[in-house]
Amino acid sequence: MKRSILAIALLFIISAIGCQNSDGQTNAKRLSKPAAEWKKVLSPNAYHIMVESGTEPPYHNEYYDNHQKGVYVSAATGEVLFSSDDKYDSGTGWPSFVKPVDMKKIKIVTDNSFGETRDEVIERSTGLHLGHVFDDGPADRGGKRYCMNSGALKFIKK
């Protein structure tokens, strides 16, 4: 019985730590405004992705196969975040970019969810989740893969 209680307590502690970013804050604490306010202005899909740090299914999202020229802006603020010039087919089923338009518009934080450590990409001005960045991008273009959720973006055709 004591082992069961200890195991449950340990799982609870690990879960609480896993839901924190590198600043030790949960997603709700780093947002620029309360989740309830974001719910009023974002679509249900964008809210799930950006506020609840959700992930859309691969190959079943709006922009993974978009080859038009233009820019990708935040679904929350309209800020330009990525360009079609930096987009490439990573084969993952999500829109992937070698870099953002301006590193000052995003922030990389540690994401320890799902029992793994990843680098989460958030919109700097809002604290909203956009996706993750990995070190398996094209070597000749910097080696990064900014793997974004289509629901966190809106495309503006050139």
Query: Measured between alpha carbons, how far is 134 from 51 in angstroms, rounded to an integer?
Result: 21
Give the active site residue among 50, 147, 148, 153.
Answer: 147
Query: Measured between alpha carbons, how far is 120 from 12 in angstroms, rounded to an integer?
Result: 22
Residues 7-36 have a mean pLDDT of 50
Active site residue 147: yes
Structure letter (DSSP) for residue 9: H
Q: In what order do the strands lie in the sheet with 70-74?
A: 80-83, 70-74, 153-157
Q: At the topology level of CATH, where does 2-157 sit? A: 2.170.150
Q: Report pLDDT digits (tens) over 67-116.
A: 999 999 999 999 999 999 999 999 999 999 999 999 999 999 999 988 99
Higher pLDDT, 33 or 19: 33
Please state which of the ranges 21-25, 98-102, 110-114, 120-124 shows the lowest mean pLDDT.
Answer: 21-25
**Residue 60 — very low, low, confident or very high, per pLDDT cuts 50/70/90?**
very high
Share of the chain above pLDDT 90, in %: 79
**Residue 1 — very low, low, confident or very high, per pLDDT cuts 50/70/90?**
low
Residue spans per domain, the chain: 2-157
Whether the predicted pLDDT of 63 surpasses 50: yes
Q: 156, 157, 145, 49: which is closest to 93 by C-alpha? A: 145
Q: What is the mean pLDDT of the chain?
A: 86
Query: Measured between alpha carbons, how far is 63 from 153 in angstroms, rounded to an integer?
Result: 9
* pLDDT number for residue 30: 78
